[in-house]
Structure 1
Amino acid sequence: MKLGLHIADFTWPDGSAGLGPRLADIVTAADEAGFDRISVMDHLWQIFGTPEAEMLEAYTALGFIAAHTKRVKLLTLVTGVTYRDPGLLAKAVTTLDVLSGGRAMLGIGAAWNEDESKGLGLFFPPTAERFERLEETLQICLRMFHGDEAPWEGKHYQLGRLLNRPLPLSKPHPPILIGGGGEKKTLRFVAKYGDACNLFDGPEAARKLDVLREHCANEGRDYDAIEKTATMSSLDPGEKGEKVDEIIANLTRLGGLGFTAVLGMIPGIADLNRIEILRTEVIPAVEAL
């Protein structure tokens, strides 16, 4: 199993002036500890606590993280499809992939935060249209990742030339992770276009994987070729490692369900000792699952 660090809370000691150095220390430590990936939310307002709490724009943050790491994969968990037109999104992910040495993933979903969108004047159509735009965006990104420059004429997007140079370093393309557990559309899109799913750890997780398996059979897709990732509520080992056994038990349970990667947040992550505990006591156990 692979372990990912999800960084969502940026309210740390020293305020805004210390945020950059603190983030650099955290991601460097996580990279050296053996985390497989680092993700950030694609939100402009904070969704944990109050909207007024610190939040960073996702792709700017990922570029910063890329410069302070060497091996971890980098992704959003997940990009709201309506936040960026698909041509710009494909270019942003490609740029991240090239500058990080082939470590980018495209994490994407149908978007949900209407308050944030209305507050900042972002486009936020009804649910059905967002899913239509999600499918078109997946198709456009795949074409751009592979260098297909032919014009695109879709229901919602019209692009005259899908020029994308340089092409990504990741082969065959930056892995596409589609977040969400919607059974009719989201998991079908995973089977049709995705390289990974992302589900919340909960009582429905196992059944959602069964639904994904059915979609793969209908799409003629190898279910085993899709990475099954789950989001855990917390990877906090405790101040002195008192929660390590609980974390390992939860990861073992998820592995038994068929998940091959787990991402989670670490409350109190500004205390780098928590990352050190995970490095010495959790990650070796996870790698053996």
Structure 2
Amino acid sequence: MKVGLQIPDFTYPGGPATLGADLAAIAKAADDAGFATVAVMDHFFQIGVVGPPENDMLEAYTTLGYLAAHTSRAKLLTLVTGTVYRQPGLLAKIISTLDVLSGGRAWLGVGAAWNDEESRGLGFPFPPVAERFERLEETVQICLRMWAGDETPYNGRHYQLERPLNRPQPLSRPHPPIMIGGGGEKKTLRLVARYAQACNLFPGPDLARKLDVLRAHCEAEGRDYDEIVKTVYYVYDVGQGTQKIVDDLGHLAELGFSEALGQVKDAHRLTPLETVGAEVIPAVAAL
């Protein structure tokens, strides 16, 4: 079982003046401690479960590019990018750039998007859910085409690319892994089975059923279920004791998850990251 860090909150005691240094310290501490992943949200306003929309929120890929320079081993991704936030050709180029500059550590985390408040606030299109899923599938198709070096025109329902040129190509082979986030059983998990190398689910009593649904979609798509990396969102709170974390991750591993990816409470203090690195990561490494 691998341990991954997501950084959802950028409102720290020092404010914007020390935010760059604080983030660099968090990323380096997580990388040194053995976290497999350093991820950020892809939102423009803070989301309600974390804080008010007025709290500090950084643009995701600028942030990941910065964090790439302060890490050397952890994979880098968003959890996850709303497909309507960037044109697919630009998104493929962004991930390619991050992969090259990080030495092959970029993943594409992507989903159908849900936060209409920030889209309305900043003037982003936010089409109905059915269209967002259509755009999500076309986005993934375009990224795969560009990462394969296929420059032939793409003519989709929503996107048309005359020449999807992508240079330099990513270092990751055959391409940066794709994580499709969300647990929707009819559309999201079907797209995972069709295209993705990883999924991300939120914890709850229905986790086992979600994996069964994914398995069924894999069978329908002729896909090997076992080759998909199953990740689950998890909040690391060392204040509750690291044994509880180890026990929780053991249960998740028994269900079939191979990475627990999520927030570490008070990560900006760094000690919680070091504690997870010293007491949790070695304890769950063999699960």
2:268 pairs with 1:270: yes
Partners of 2:83 and 2:139 within 8 A in 1 = yes
Partners of 2:7 and 2:41 within 8 A in 1 = yes
User: 2:132 maps to which residue?
Assistant: 130
Tell me the TM-score normalised to structure 1 length: 0.98
2:79 to 69, 74, 77: 77
- Whole-angstrom CA distance in 2 between matches of 1:254 and 1:147: 38
Report how many residues are paired.
Answer: 285
Shift of 1:29: 0.6
- Whole-angstrom CA distance in 1 between matches of 2:146 and 2:241: 44
Partners of 2:265 and 2:272 within 8 A in 1 = no
Once the two structures are superposed, residues 202-259 of structure 1 have per-residue CA deviations (whole angstroms, 9 ceiling, x without a partner) of 1111100000000000000000000001001x11212xxx520111111001000000
User: 2:252 maps to which residue?
Assistant: 254
Partners of 2:38 and 2:75 within 8 A in 1 = yes
- Whole-angstrom CA distance in 1 between matches of 2:279 and 2:286: 12
Shift of 1:82: 0.1
Output the amino acid matched with 1:147. Answer: G
User: 1:33 maps to which residue?
Assistant: 33
Q: Secondary structure at the match of 1:60?
A: helix
2:214 to 212, 215, 220: 212
Write the mapping of 1:39-54 to structure 2, written as runs, cut at 5 A. Answer: 39-47=39-47, 48-54=50-56
Shift of 1:155: 0.3
2:151 to 139, 149, 152: 149
Shift of 1:16: 0.3
Identify which range, 267-276 or 13-22, moves more after superposition.
Answer: 267-276
2:237 pairs with 1:236: yes
User: 1:177 maps to which residue?
Assistant: 179
User: 1:24 maps to which residue?
Assistant: 24
Q: Secondary structure at the match of 1:54?
A: coil
Once the two structures are superposed, residues 40-80 of structure 1 have per-residue CA deviations (whole angstroms, 9 ceiling, x without a partner) of 00000001110000111000000000010000000000000
- Whole-angstrom CA distance in 2 between matches of 1:212 and 1:111: 20
- Whole-angstrom CA distance in 2 between matches of 1:253 and 1:219: 28
- Whole-angstrom CA distance in 2 between matches of 1:68 and 1:78: 21
Shift of 1:264: 1.5
Shift of 1:132: 0.4
User: 2:285 maps to which residue?
Assistant: 287
- Whole-angstrom CA distance in 2 between matches of 1:64 and 1:187: 31
Write the mapping of 1:53-132 to structure 2, written as runs, cut at 5 A. Answer: 53-132=55-134
Output the amino acid matched with 2:277. Answer: R
Write the mapping of 1:181-200 to structure 2, written as runs, cut at 5 A. Answer: 181-200=183-202
- Whole-angstrom CA distance in 1 between matches of 2:270 and 2:80: 25
Task: State, as a whole percentage, how many aligned pairs show the same letter.
Answer: 64
- Whole-angstrom CA distance in 1 between matches of 2:140 and 2:260: 23
Q: CA RMSD in A?
A: 0.7
Shift of 1:269: 1.1
Q: Secondary structure at the match of 1:266?
A: coil
Q: Please, which runs of 5 or more residues in structure 2 have no aligned partner?
A: none
Q: Secondary structure at the match of 1:270?
A: helix
